[in-house]
Amino acid sequence: MDPLSPAGPSSSSSGQIVKGTRKGTRSCVECRHRKIRIVSTESYDEEVGKLYHQVPSLRPILNNPREWLTAVASYATPWMSLYMSIFPYTSPIDTKEELISQHDEMQSPTAHPVTMAMFLCTFAITAQQVPPDQENTSPPLNWKDAPTYARQVAQAVEATIISHTGLAMTVEGIEMAILLLRLQLGLGAIRSLWLSLRRTVALAELIGLPRFWYSRRDDLIPATYTPGSSTSSSRDRITQKIAIWTAICLTDRLSSMMFNLPAATSSHRFPRKDIMTPEGEVLVASHLFELSSLALEVQALDEACMMNESAEETYQNVLTIDCRLRTLKSQTPTSWWNDWPHKASSASLVQFWHFYLTARIHLHAAMSPDEQDQFSYSRTACEQACETLSRLYPGLRYGLPSGFFLCRIIDMQIYTAVAFLLLTSMRGSNATDPRKIAMAQTILETMDAVSNRTSHVEFISGASSTIRSLIALARDGSSSSQSLTLRIPLLGKVRIGRKKTSGSGATANQPQDHEAAMPQMQQAQAAEQSYSNQGAPSATRTAEVNQQHYDMSNSNTLPWLMELDMNSQSLQYPFLADDITHFDQWLSTDSGMALNSI
């Protein structure tokens, strides 16, 4: 019998009429047992109709032939397997076979609205994996408009399920919200994602999910959990709620690290999780959770810099976090870190984020003027971490599914690392480090290769243009540019000044300032164009620069003097775009990245 088909009224053994319940949903008795109140069957039917009414174009998509659906579903396995290995619980639809079988069940007008929303989000994520060049397949897969379809699904699910408190305040509704967050991240809807995440955290707190951690028993909690399975076991119900709360906290903390915004779950503390099995296998999901908890400290470092707190105290905090990070790494075997796969895996992602976090916590100190050379450890640690990121990136990026929601984040993070390496590549006034230049060239080749099969080609094109310009600037020791301002995603503005060499006529108090700002793609400069010839300064911008005199004459062990601008305007600029349906301004062609004169 169809598990989503309605069941009519039935008779009990005593002859009493018992109201039927829709299979595949929770009955009233079970819901009371679970202490979770959901809306009535009539409300469910109303919500299903609303879901179809919200996006009429979904109906023909659901009615596509099976062979067409099968062709799209063939792209489901790579992203689903990677998704399940990263996060501490699996999706209700975790194979392409289940995706195909549930398509038939979704044709029923009585389909459960939350189940339908999960199917639609899963299918939308899968549709984004189809490369743009798959038009000549049989059947044809012309998914050039997949982002539009995915946005329609996200908007319909948000309006129907997420905004409906009765549906959203259930364990199933929160599971749905977590899946929607993945879809929003893949679309680049950062503001929508952040607001949905905050609401999900609040709803989870309201129904008491965090409290299950306080009464947990490790022997009752398996390594993984598959939501949506019907069970009356108290152990499995507790496991489900703990797994969902863990997934929420992990998503919140990783998002905080990625978007440089405060985490909503920072006040919630968790027992230390074992990251190794007795057999010596690394538990990647547990390791990632511990790493995400350490990422919370980045916000404190940023705030300390913004508030001009004591440099000694701030740097002591940097060293403390660094020690905790190295301690976490020491709990895993050395071979796990040395065996870098040439394809994407959960292990390579965790390793990539470990080194990104290392670079991130040392970046302030590494970029600050340091006359006494007291931050040499941070400069070394940051450089080594960025070099490791550069070695990890090609194999990881080539192996990631083309539409995987983490691709954008990986590209932004490697851009930050390469920009730092290029700015520190010169060891003398006229010398460059050819090894770092070669690393940057490898990153460029990777970006160019994946740009043909990614949905955010604008960001990759802009990042590539910037890196090429930085390479040209690093190689051009005769450039007349004495300083520039570079916007690095997630970090804000970085003001960079070239060291004044002997005999230089440049004045430290009046540097020639250029700003890195991404142009519209049709106006992008050629990569080999000399930086000093990129147009005339803007009068308005020049006046603004002249009001801010930065002393670029201080000595430093690096050839560039770098100052990180952490004011609120620099950090929040990425979220000021008016168009909320497209990728936010700091990740689009309006974002500041390529080297232009001001």
Q: Residue 285: which pLDDT band, with cuts at 50, 70 and 90?
A: confident
Lowest mean pLDDT segment, chosen from 81-90, 126-135, 207-216, 559-568: 559-568
Q: What region does 280 belong to: left with phi over 0, alpha with psi -120 to 50, or beta?
A: left
Q: Are 146 and 453 in contact (CB under 8 A)?
A: no
Position 441 confidence tier, pLDDT thresholds 50, 70, 90 = very high
At residue 77, what is the residue type? T
HSE-up of 313 (CA within 13 Å, CB side)? 8
Which stretch of 111-120, 217-226, 264-273 has the lowest confidence by average pLDDT? 217-226
Under 8 Å CB-to-CB from 512, ≥6 apart: which residues? 480, 481, 482, 483, 506
pLDDT of residue 216: 56
Q: How confident is the model at residue 168 (pLDDT cuts 50, 70, 90)?
A: confident
Q: What is the pLDDT of residues 39-66, one digit of tens each?
A: 455 555 565 555 555 444 445 555 556 6
pLDDT band at 590; cut points 50, 70, 90: very low
User: Among 142-151, 161-170, 192-201, 363-372, which stretch is predicted with the lowest mean pLDDT?
Assistant: 142-151
Q: Which one is predicted more confidently, 103 or 455? A: 103
Report the range out of 289-303, 495-509, 538-552 with the highest average pLDDT.
289-303
Q: How confident is the model at residue 98 (pLDDT cuts 50, 70, 90)?
A: confident
Look at residues 419, 435, 440, 407 and name the one whose alpha carbon lies nearest to residue 493: 419
Average pLDDT on 129-157 reads: 68
Question: Residue 108 CB: number of other CB atoms within 10 A?
Answer: 16
Q: Who wins on pLDDT, 561 or 440?
A: 440
> Do residues 102 and 161 make contact, with C-beta atoms less than 8 angstroms apart?
no
**Is residue 116 within 8 Å of 106, Cβ to Cβ?**
yes
DSSP 151-179: HHHHHHHIIIIIT-HHHHTSHHHHHHHHH
Which of 192-201, 307-316, 321-330 is predicted least confidently?
307-316
Percent of the chain with pLDDT over 70: 57
User: Does residue 56 or residue 93 have the better pLDDT?
Assistant: 93
Highest mean pLDDT among 265-279, 332-346, 434-448, 529-543: 434-448
Tell me what the mean pLDDT of segment 163-177 comes to: 84
CA-nearest of 542, 470, 471, 478 to 511 is: 542
For residue range 513-569, list pLDDT tens digits in order: 444 433 222 222 322 233 233 332 232 332 233 333 333 334 444 555 555 555 544
The residue that leads in pLDDT, 562 or 164, is 164
**What are the pLDDT digits (tens) for 209-240?**
888 876 654 444 444 444 444 444 566 777 77
> Phi/psi at 267 (nearest 5 deg)?
-80, -10
- Mean pLDDT over 304-328 rounds to 89
pLDDT at 330: 92
Domain ranges of the chain: 34-259, 272-392, 400-598
* pLDDT number for residue 101: 80
Tell me what pLDDT residue 185 has.
Answer: 81
Selected residue with higher pLDDT from 439 and 568: 439
Q: In the 8-state DSSP scheme, what is residue 534?
A: S
More confident residue, 428 or 16: 428
Tens digits of residue pLDDT in 381-432: 999 999 999 999 998 998 888 777 788 788 888 988 998 888 787 655 445 7
Segment of 76-80, 147-151, 200-204 carrying the highest mean pLDDT? 200-204
On the question of pLDDT at 377 being above 90, the answer is: yes
The 3-state secondary structure of 349-399, one letter per residue = HHHHHHHHHHHHHHHHHHHCCCCCCCCHHHHHHHHHHHHHHHHHHHHHHHH
For residue 171, give the amino acid letter.
V
Question: Could you give the angle at the alpha carbon of 300 between the alpha carbons of 296 and 304, nearest 5°?
Answer: 165
Cα separation, 285 vs 181, in Å, equals 18
- At 45 the pLDDT is 55
**Ramachandran angles phi, psi of 591, nearest 5°:** -80, 155
pTM above 0.95, yes or no: no
Q: Which residue has the higher pLDDT, 584 or 398?
A: 398
- Which of 60-74, 187-201, 567-581 is the least confident region? 567-581
Round to whole Å and give the CA distance between 410 and 400.
Answer: 10
Select the more confidently predicted residue: 559 or 285: 285
pLDDT band at 293 (very low <50, low <70, confident <90, very high): confident
Give me the chain's average pLDDT, please: 68
Which region among 118-132, 263-277, 521-535, 575-589 has the lowest average model confidence (pLDDT)? Answer: 521-535
Residue 143 confidence (pLDDT): 52
> What percent of the chain has a predicted confidence (pLDDT) above 90?
12
The whole-number pLDDT of residue 502 equals 46
Which pLDDT score, from 0 to 100, does residue 79 have? 82
Q: Which residue has the higher pLDDT, 14 or 477?
A: 477
Reduce the DSSP state of residue 493 to 3 states and report it.
strand
Q: How far is it between the farthest Cα atoms of the chain?
A: 103
- In this structure, what token pair is assigned to residue 253? 């903390």
| Both tokens assigned to 328 | 């976490």
- In the three-class reduction of DSSP (H, G, I as helix; E, B as strand; rest coil), residue 328 is classed as helix
β-pair partners for 565:
493
The position carrying tokens 């043909």 is: 452
Helix, strand, coil shares of the chain, percent, nearest 5, are 55, 5, 40
